[in-house]
Amino acid sequence: MTLPGAPFVAYRGTELFIDGCAASELAARFGTPLYVYSRRAMLAALAPYQRALAGREHLICYAMKASSSLAVLQTFAQAGCGFDIVSGGELDRVLAAGGDPGKVVFSGLGKTRAEMRRALEIGVRCFNVESEAELDVLSEVALSLGRVAPVSLRVNPDVDAKTHPYISTGLKGNKFGIAHDRAVAAYRRAAQLPGLKVVGIDCHIGSQITEIAPYLDAADRVLDLVEAIESSGLRIHHLDLGGGLGIQYTDERPPAADALIGALLARLDARGHGARTLVFEPGRSLVGNAGVLLSEVLYLKPGTHKNFCVVDAAMNDLMRPALYEATMSIVPCRLRDGVPVVYDVVGPVCESGDWLGRDRALALQPGDAVAVLSAGAYGMSMASNYNSRPRAAEVMVDGDVATLIREREPVAELFRGEHLLPAD
């Protein structure tokens, strides 16, 4: 059976391997819940983007919200990537991981003045501005520092990315970006503000997109704008076409990254825009299939309506199933003989929404380790401490070498910084 994440996530005989490491051995050595990432899988996911863009002026800015642990950022920084950030905290992570701030694009619709100041002082490559009000504030902050902020406006192309409504961002009802029909006026305003320098345009239409067509529609809408803006005398240097490419969780068949980029380049070339600098902001497609969440089976709980398999990972570790009813593959780390039983795989958190998988046929015993596959994106980065559960540890494997890249959070960390009321 070919698993999502193959060839880096695959059975060898009855043992599930992540690259060259047996998953059940990692679970025993580092404990569970445990996120495990394959460095080689991440680099293999980046390669088709790099190949397709070779020979073009470009920058791949890894959207680090997908997985922001320092060793993950370090891996992409060393591979030449920049970063798409959405907060001052993410900027500090980039710096701590050795990333180049000159390759950072700063997205997000609620940047604070303090975040703008810090990003200007550090010298990010570009601010992706999401409203006209933000243009005014950014200009003011830049002037107060005696600097000029490089800006690109995130335009909302009103294109249906055909994905889950919670992760669709390019429709006119979404909060993101500047409406297509206001964009030319917004560019005029940006050009007049003394603290800003227009350098680009960008759009990002959503996440877990499994078709090429919405990207081409969005690119066309953006190019229409570029032509209108440039005819008014402004120069748009780079085009940032965002991220959003989907991955396989179960039976999805998203296009390969090089097929997507190839189709976009063909469209840009056909419309005479092929020589522009290109920026992409992929997140999930670089890390999603490279990671798994390992968990131990605590209890098997047969019932008259449902059988439950209670594991030690929960919605606080991986909230995609609870939040989006996302279906993610769950497999045993060691295959055992026995008739599979259909279980809901649930965590210990006190919420009925705390499930990782529903109606899964699995042959398991308490103490077995299971792996939730395709958990490398929006897993650990969305983890919380709900129910006062410390966050999981993380391991990076490279061949048969496993390195602890994040220690399991000590319980004492959970209330560090809290204070009891003074005694009477």
Ligand X SMILES: N[C@@H](CCCC[NH3+])C(=O)O
Could you say which of 61, 126, 203, 350 is catalytic?
350
Are 75 and 44 in contact by the 8 Å Cβ rule? The answer is: no
Residues that bind ligand PLP (CB under 6 A): 63, 66, 84, 107, 204, 207, 242-245, 281-285
Q: Residue 212 binds which entry of ligand X, ligand PLP, none, with Cβ cut-offs from 5 to 8 Å by kind?
A: none
Minimum CB distance to ligand X, residue 325 (Å) = 11
Distances, alpha carbon 339 to alpha carbons 300, 336, 359, in Å: 14, 9, 15
Query: In whole angstroms, what is the distance from residue 190 CA to residue 187 CA?
Result: 5
Q: How far is the CB of 177 from ligand X (least distance, A)?
A: 12
Nearest to 223 by CA among 258, 256, 265, 188: 265
Q: Which is nearer to ligand PLP, 158 or 281 (CB)?
A: 281
Query: Quick one: 300 or 382, whose CB is closer to ligand X?
Result: 382
283 is in an annotated binding site: yes
Contact partner at residue 281 from ligand X, ligand PLP, none, CB < 5 to 8 Å by partner kind: ligand PLP
Give the separation between CA 91 and CA 97, rounded to whole angstroms: 10
- What φ, ψ does residue 316 adopt, rounded to 5°? -70, -25
Residues in the chain: 424
> Among residues 320, 360, 389, 391, which is the contact residue for ligand X, using CB under 6 A?
320
273 binds, among ligand PLP, ligand X, none (CB under 5 to 8 A by kind): none
Does 378 bind ligand X (CB under 6 A)? Our answer is yes
Is 227 annotated among the ligand-binding residues? Answer: no
CB 78 within 8 A of CB 330: no
Answer whether 64's CB lies under 8 Å from 85's CB: yes
User: What is the nearest approach in angstroms of ligand X to the Cβ of residue 208?
Assistant: 6
Which residues, 36 to 95, sit near ligand X by CB under 6 A? 65
Query: Rg for the chain (alpha carbons), in Å?
Result: 23
Q: Which two tokens stand for residue 414?
A: 């959970």
Give every CB contact of residue 398 below 8 A, 6+ residues apart in sequence: 19, 38, 39, 40
* 410 is annotated as contributing to ligand binding: no
Cα separation, 205 vs 168, in Å, equals 6
Q: Which is nearer to ligand PLP, 206 or 347 (CB)?
A: 206
378 known member of a binding site: yes
What, of ligand X, ligand PLP, none, does residue 320 touch, CB below 5 to 8 Å by kind?
A: ligand X
Closest CA to 82 of 96, 62, 112, 107: 62
Least Å distance, CB 65 to ligand X, is: 6
Q: Does 149 contact ligand X by CB under 6 A?
A: no
Give 6's contacts (C-beta < 8 A, 6+ positions apart): none
The interface partner of residue 150, options being ligand PLP, ligand X, none and the CB cut-off 5 to 8 Å by kind, is none
Among 167, 218, 241, 397, binds ligand X (CB under 6 A): 167
Considering only residues 207 through 226, tell me which ones interact with ligand X, judged by CB under 6 A. Answer: 207-208
Q: Is 81 an active-site residue? A: no
61, β-bridge pairs: 82
How many residues make contact with ligand X (CB under 6 A)? Answer: 7
Instruction: Using alpha carbons, select from 95, 38, 33 the residue that is nearest to residue 64.
Output: 95
Q: Is 383 helix (H, G, I), strand (E, B) or coil?
A: coil
In the complex with ligand PLP, which residue's Cβ is closer, 42 or 63? 63
Annotated binding site for pyridoxal 5'-phosphate: 244, 281-284, 378
Q: Known catalytic residues?
A: 350
Annotated binding site for substrate: 284, 320, 324, 351, 378
* Residue ranges in contact with ligand X by CB under 6 A: 65, 167, 207-208, 320, 378, 382
